[in-house]
Amino acid sequence: MLAAIVMGMVLSADAQTVNDEPLNDAWAPSEWGPDDKVGAANRTTPALVLKAVGLVKQGKVATLGKVYAQDAPAFGSRGWRLTIPGLPTGGPFGDQKLVYNDDYVATDIGQIGTQFDGPGHIGVLTSKGSFFYNGRYLEDPDVGAYGLGPLGVEHVAQKGFVCRGVLLDAVALRGGVLPVPKENNRDDPGIITDDDIKQMVKRQRIDSIGEGDCVFLHTGHGDIWHPKDWDEFDAVEKAKRAAEFHAGEPGFGISACEYLASRKVILTGADNWGGEAVGPGFGGETAQPFECHIKLQTKRGIWLIENLDLSQLVADEAYEFLFVWAPLKIKGATGSPGNPIAMY
Amino acid sequence: MLAAIVMGMVLSADAQTVNDEPLNDAWAPSEWGPDDKVGAANRTTPALVLKAVGLVKQGKVATLGKVYAQDAPAFGSRGWRLTIPGLPTGGPFGDQKLVYNDDYVATDIGQIGTQFDGPGHIGVLTSKGSFFYNGRYLEDPDVGAYGLGPLGVEHVAQKGFVCRGVLLDAVALRGGVLPVPKENNRDDPGIITDDDIKQMVKRQRIDSIGEGDCVFLHTGHGDIWHPKDWDEFDAVEKAKRAAEFHAGEPGFGISACEYLASRKVILTGADNWGGEAVGPGFGGETAQPFECHIKLQTKRGIWLIENLDLSQLVADEAYEFLFVWAPLKIKGATGSPGNPIAMY
Amino acid sequence: MLAAIVMGMVLSADAQTVNDEPLNDAWAPSEWGPDDKVGAANRTTPALVLKAVGLVKQGKVATLGKVYAQDAPAFGSRGWRLTIPGLPTGGPFGDQKLVYNDDYVATDIGQIGTQFDGPGHIGVLTSKGSFFYNGRYLEDPDVGAYGLGPLGVEHVAQKGFVCRGVLLDAVALRGGVLPVPKENNRDDPGIITDDDIKQMVKRQRIDSIGEGDCVFLHTGHGDIWHPKDWDEFDAVEKAKRAAEFHAGEPGFGISACEYLASRKVILTGADNWGGEAVGPGFGGETAQPFECHIKLQTKRGIWLIENLDLSQLVADEAYEFLFVWAPLKIKGATGSPGNPIAMY
Amino acid sequence: MLAAIVMGMVLSADAQTVNDEPLNDAWAPSEWGPDDKVGAANRTTPALVLKAVGLVKQGKVATLGKVYAQDAPAFGSRGWRLTIPGLPTGGPFGDQKLVYNDDYVATDIGQIGTQFDGPGHIGVLTSKGSFFYNGRYLEDPDVGAYGLGPLGVEHVAQKGFVCRGVLLDAVALRGGVLPVPKENNRDDPGIITDDDIKQMVKRQRIDSIGEGDCVFLHTGHGDIWHPKDWDEFDAVEKAKRAAEFHAGEPGFGISACEYLASRKVILTGADNWGGEAVGPGFGGETAQPFECHIKLQTKRGIWLIENLDLSQLVADEAYEFLFVWAPLKIKGATGSPGNPIAMY
């Protein structure tokens, strides 16, 4: 595999060594059995659904997706391209003189813009192969170049997410947009710790985070991507912003992720590209970049949705809401684009 | 434009003549003003949202999307292709030996499988150009090959759909799967009329269809697409099924569509590819194929979602439910893929 | 259509007016009759082929294509994306344990990097519709969103190009890389005139340009694209270079193009993106950008190949050579990628 | 990896075992040294080029590529899709009212239709990893999901192929289209042996196959793909033909491939999808499917071009000719599309 220089640090690809923690620490089978393909989404119950529905009091609706377009910054070499074949694509037909348009897109569909990380996205190279959620391996005979088989997102997409949504407003907590972390410790203002979460819950006067919740973090970092004046930037300015956006990010530290896992949440989300703190050469409170991804997704089946637009919720101080969304049922995919709905 | 042979009939492309009904009948500006880009989705109010939320009584959740895959029948020359670059796409990185996968897709993203027809999908060739919702034209300077500008789906996607969902079970009404219509009259069993709708509402013991509702039709025709044993079919059998699926379809006749429009619904949907009746050379109750598309979408901004999986709702006799879904915010697109959620 | 800001000038799209020169000046039928789909490639004869073959004296071979990759500057919103599904894509199979890789690409295949402009690429909006080579229109019933029918590149690709290649070294003539033209007159050093061509032929001691020749222009402007140190640039630097590369270009003025047409050449080519001079708001020796494209391609069927790598020919002072190449037979396409061969 | 059912046989993927012949038999470094990325194309010399040029006697030109289109049969799940964005894609611009079209394509560019198999296409799973030409491995740090690094086709594309082309007309030898082999022995009429090659050379009265030659086999099997009446077939008939085309093929047996290797050819080609004999569960004269691919490409760097249109050469009995072609310089790709030129 290619060594990649991303996020301002060298992530050196080293195929010679492995990480056998998933095997030694018995990450598989999951608590939902060896056949499970859904993870923490299993925690949703009719009772929890009804409780979350009870949060809708004003009848307000917010859509949380960002706009998909060619000039949206995309991680690494990912891209988005849309064309309209024909304009119109077909017609005029019949006496009505009907004309119609289609749209043709080529993109890393599940891993660009607002995106959901499903069971097949993040794994760990072990001595037995590339380990993914619930002990499935990329080397398994039912996983291949045209789809991930049992690791495909269509399984959790069949279930969907209906939950109590909790917005954690770290910008309000810190008194401003969070910076990219500079130092790898609990005092860095770009890293949200377990204590920070508890403090935000208290400040925002909401019930504790609990089983079946979906938890979303507002860092302000996401506004580097498409601020209001985005369309006025030229290609060079957009390239600069894209580089800045992906050079690191504030977010959850590992203590926060472990806390959320202990509370049995089913989904985390954020207004930036990875949700967890990433600084120059490290992840939050640890030397390991993306350890939250591994410890929540690969180990526990707690999925993630990135690059959300939380601005309406922040403006309305809608800290608790009914969250309703399902990934697309894309056969064998690692993730899904999305435009989730919050109701409150 | 190309003459197209589709759906068992020749839709002869004829660029010499036009249909000026949109101009003569003053379809623009819409009732929501000349700047509106959203259509009937404007009808949703907090009160209607709260009323729809009240339909959730059991805490049950259904996802209504179908699976996106390469062998799913696609209209005309549309297609779907997914690959996993690299497997893994990247890594191993860091001491955690993280590996990750992406998915690369090329497809008619808004017009394949479960799909939403937005403002830029259906129009009418008039003497002033190709007329679309609210008097916008494909010839306008802000509409082009890389996106439809004000006709793009991102505008209605910003709003989303939260509504009372109504399932009309025509299979129960007719006592079996509806056939492709053979004759273009109100007695053809493949055509659902205004009276049929009223009868289903009565049989199903639900409140009348009303303002802000989203109405879904179960015809059974959609099961030609991916029945339970689909994966056992070879490529030739799948090609036969695809041809059969698209050769015509049962669905709403024009009287039903006009009735739904008069009731001020905001969205229609069905378990097949077009929602409205299409027989050999005609649309339902009219000589004009796809007249419902034009009269609901282009004229009134009542949008459509096709190829839904309504099976769980049918099995549960969930005739009224909270429908929650937003299209993807795809800049300049004609439509969107989707996996809507029904709660009841 | 969208107004486009390209090449440092505003090309204002104006659908209200037309240019009826193709009709008034009787550009159709072509000299090869109304059915012709090939244009000046018709001029090739066995005798000319044998004469061109006679130019191969050293047995040297040069390939003239540039590298296709994601970071190659692309005009407007065009793009290139390649992934390797699976790595390996398939296998291991059988006792041999065969594994194999494919490559999946999404791109504007005929109009990116080294590219051939065929009959369906350039046209003129007239009062009768969009006029293309030999009087075909985009509005014709056999031209559509999935292919250009009789305007498709597969027809000229069936014939191919075998010709005497002539290299015109304008860098040697001017004593350095040609600048983007600043003023629209024959004295601007960025504009190559008819007299400049004659002077280069004389300086380079080759026979006059004649019937069936393929003529290539070396301007040096193409080196902005992928200089030797290209891979060391970051994304922002590449964006700057891409903007500079497309902001204008030195090349043939209209007098040169008319001269080449009068000599009955069959193909022109250059080391930059358009071959003809383009300055701020003008084409070479005229107020009309891309008039050479129209006068050579649309009017006369003399095709064009852009973004060539002429460096080996320049280094070897190979001013005359056997040129051998055929576009890909892409059904209904506007152009083709390529890697032509020069032998000398 | 996925187990694949292709070509009427089960190619069972078995990741547990390996084939260490490439290591034990010292396939690397190649005879051109450990840095070589080009293989047998190194054999071309100016003298051989001049000799091949001498075969052009009539001044005739044939293009050998097939048409790329959506309905062309493609191996496995490969596909081709072309759309024309906008129609026109841009314009009208300036006083000339220029309009232009682009073409947007998504495809397995190097492995569909007429296709070239380069260094990164075929390999062998060994105990050291996936072994490719000259001892490179897919696990190497410079090989990845976005391109194959030193295994990319751009290196051999830089060199190109100029050679004596030899057409072996097996249809003339056998007195008809060759059948898919039924039995795995030298007497099966679908398998071309070393003796068959010598007999064809003699029958066709041409010089022996020798160093630097490019050798092409005419089997007639390729006509299943796009016969003259192809466009009249419907989708189901095309699906049947595609299945038949790929269910097996006549072609070279392993004795023929070893003979060609011993003669030091630099390229082989055929009018079908793989060039070598493939029957139900076996390759020609061996139990190993695609052993010729491995023994010519992976072991020796003798590359392959598939799905050629040899009809003009056959009709003209052009058994010796100047073959001129270069793959596209696609960075990191496994192969290339093509439309080679034969001159005679």
**How does pLDDT run across D232-277, given as a tens digit for each residue?**
888 889 889 999 999 999 999 999 999 999 999 999 999 999 999 9
Closest CA to C155 of C133, C178, C138: C133
Q: Phi, psi at residue C251, to the nearest 5°?
A: 165, -165
Inform me whether the pLDDT recorded for A6 exceeds 50. Answer: no
D98 interaction partners in chain C (CB closer than 8 Å)? 122-125, 289-290, 293-294
The per-residue pLDDT for range B257-274, each reduced to its tens digit, is 999 999 999 999 999 999
Please answer yes or no on whether C59 and D67 come within 8 Å at the CB atom.
Answer: no
pLDDT score for B333: 98
Structure confidence at residue A10 as a pLDDT band (50, 70, 90): very low
Nearest by Cα to D341 from C273, C338, B177, A19: C338
Q: Residue D89: which of C111, A14, C176 has the closest Cα?
A: C111
Separation CA C161–CA C9 (nearest Å): 34
Judging contacts by C-beta atoms under 8 Å, the chain A residues touching residue D83 are 83, 85-86, 104
Distance from CA of B77 to the nearest CA of D (A): 8
C-chain CB neighbours of B2 within 8 Å are 141-146, 149
Instruction: Indicate yes or no: CB of D53 within 8 angstroms of CB of C50.
Output: no
Residues of C in contact with D158 (CB under 8 A): 63
Q: Render the burial of A33-59: b for 16+ CB within 10 Å, e for the rest.
A: eeebbbbbbbbbeeebbbbbbebbeeb
Pick the residue from chain B with its C-alpha nearest to C89.
Answer: B86
A196 has pLDDT over 70 = yes
Beta bridge partners of A107: A80, B105
Order across the sheet with A61-63: list the strands: A61-63, A341-343, A320-325, A161-169, A214-218, A267-270, A303-306, A115-117, A335-337
Parallel, antiparallel, or unpaired: how do β-strands C267-270 and C303-306 relate?
parallel
Neighbours of C (≥3 Cβ pairs closer than 8 A)?
A: A, B, D
Distances (CA, A) of A310 to A193, A216, C55, C131: 20, 8, 68, 49
Six-digit token string for A5: 């220089």
Read off the pLDDT band of A2 (50, 70, 90). very low
Nearest to B257 by CA among B313, B221, B299, B212: B299
B70·D79 Cβ contact <8 A: yes
| Interchain pair B104, C87: CB under 8 A | no
Confidence class for position A5, pLDDT limits 50, 70, 90:
very low
Among the partner residues C101, C158, C340, nearest to D121 by beta-carbon distance: C101
Is B142 within 8 Å of C84 when comparing Cβ atoms? no
Return the ∠ at Cα C208 (arms to C204 and C213), rounded to 5°: 105
Length of chain C: 344
CA distances, D127 to each of A13, D131, D137, D289 (Å): 20, 9, 11, 21
Q: What are the chain D neighbours of B146 within 8 Å (beta carbons)? A: 85-86
Measured CA distances, A86 to A106, B125, B333 (Å)? 17, 14, 13
Residue A65: its chain B contacts at CB < 8 A? Answer: 157, 326, 328-329
Q: What are the pLDDT digits (tens) for B139-164? A: 999 999 999 999 999 999 999 999 99
pLDDT: which is higher, B185 or D304 = D304
CA distance C195 to chain D (A): 25
Residue B285 binned pLDDT confidence (cut-offs 50, 70, 90)? confident
State whether C144 and A86 contact (CB < 8 Å). Answer: yes
Convert the pLDDT of each residue in C187-215 to its tens digit. 999 999 999 999 999 999 999 999 999 99
Percent of chain A with pLDDT over 90: 83
Cross-chain residue pair A106–B104, CB shorter than 8 Å: yes
Residues in chain B whose beta carbon is closer than 8 A to a beta carbon of chain C?
1-3, 13, 15, 77, 81, 83-87, 104, 106, 139, 141-146, 149
User: What pLDDT is attached to residue B11?
Assistant: 44
The model's pLDDT over D323-341, given as tens digits with 9 standing for 90+, comes to 999 999 999 999 999 999 9
Average pLDDT over residues A303-320: 98
Q: How far apart are CA C338 and CA D157, in angstroms?
A: 11
Distance between CA atoms of residues B165 and B269, nearest Å: 10
Is residue D29 reached through a cis peptide bond, with omega within 30 degrees of 0 on the bond before it?
yes
The predicted model gives B32-36 an average pLDDT of 98
Q: What is the pLDDT of residue A173?
A: 98
Please give the residue of chain A at the shortest CA–CA distance from B84: A145
Average pLDDT of chain B, as a whole number: 93
Sign of the alpha-carbon dihedral angle for D304, D305, D308, D313: negative
Count of other CB atoms within 10 angstroms of residue C29: 12
pLDDT confidence of C71, banded at 50, 70, 90?
Answer: confident
For residue B325, give the amino acid letter: W
Neighbours of chain D (3+ CB pairs under 8 A): A, B, C
Least confident of A126-135, B5-14, B183-192: B5-14
Give the mean pLDDT of B296-306.
98
Q: Which residue of C has its CA nearest to D83?
A: C146
Secondary structure (H, E, C), B146-191: CECHHHCCHHHHHHCEEEEEEEEEHHHHHCCCCCCCCCCCCCCCCE
Sequence-ordered list of residues with C-beta below 8 angstroms from that of D317, at least 6 positions apart, any chain = D204
Mutate to test the interface with A, among C1, C75, C81 (most CBs of A within 10 A): C81
CB contact under 8 A, A2 and D142: yes
Query: How far is it, in rounded angstroms, from Cα B117 to Cα B290?
Result: 13
pLDDT value of position D287? 66
Report residue D316 as tokens.
Answer: 């003209």
D135-162, pLDDT tens digit by residue? 999 999 999 999 999 999 999 999 999 9
pLDDT at position C327 over 50: yes
Q: Which residues of B touch A76 (CB under 8 A)?
A: 90
Distance CA B97, CA B216 (A): 48
Give the best residue of C6, C101, C104 to mutate against chain B (max B CB count within 10 A): C104
Min CA distance, B209 vs chain C (Å)? Answer: 39
Q: Which stretch of DSSP H or E encloses residue D241?
A: helix D235-246
Q: Among partner residues A2, A87, A144, which is closest to D87 by beta-carbon distance?
A: A87
Alpha helices in C81-162 (DSSP H): 154-159
Residue C223, both tokens: 């080196």
Going by pLDDT thresholds of 50, 70 and 90, the confidence category of residue B289 is: confident
Identify the residue among A16, A18, A70, A87 best suited for mutation to test binding to D, counting D beta carbons within 10 A and taking the highest: A87
Other beta carbons within 10 Å of B35? 10
In whole angstroms, what is the distance from residue B340 CA to residue B338 CA?
6
Picking from C84, C162, C334, the nearest residue to D101 by CB comes out as C334
Determine whether the interchain pair C146/B2 forms a contact, defined as Cβ–Cβ distance below 8 Å: yes
Would you place residue B287 in the very low, low, confident or very high pLDDT band (cuts 50, 70, 90)? Answer: low
- Phi/psi at B141 (nearest 5 deg)? -65, -20
Q: Are C290 and C283 in contact (CB under 8 A)?
A: yes
Extract the tokens encoding D50: 């001049």
Give the pLDDT score at A16: 56
For residue C47, is pLDDT > 60? yes
Interface residues of chain C, partner chain B, Cβ below 8 Å: 1-3, 13, 15, 77, 81, 83-87, 104, 106, 139, 141-146, 149
Q: Chain D residues within 8 A (CB-CB) of chain B?
A: 70, 77, 79, 81, 85-90, 102, 106, 144-146, 234-236, 238-240, 242-243
Sign of CA dihedral A180, A182, A184, A186: negative
ipTM of the complex: 0.95
What CA dihedral angle connects C126, C132, C138 and C139, to 10 degrees?
50
Give pLDDT, residue C16. Answer: 56
Residue C11 has pLDDT above 50, yes or no: no
CB contact under 8 A, C81 and A81: yes
Determine, for residues C89 and A235 on separate chains, whether the beta-carbon distance falls below 8 Å: no
* For B146, nearest residue in chain C (alpha carbons): C77
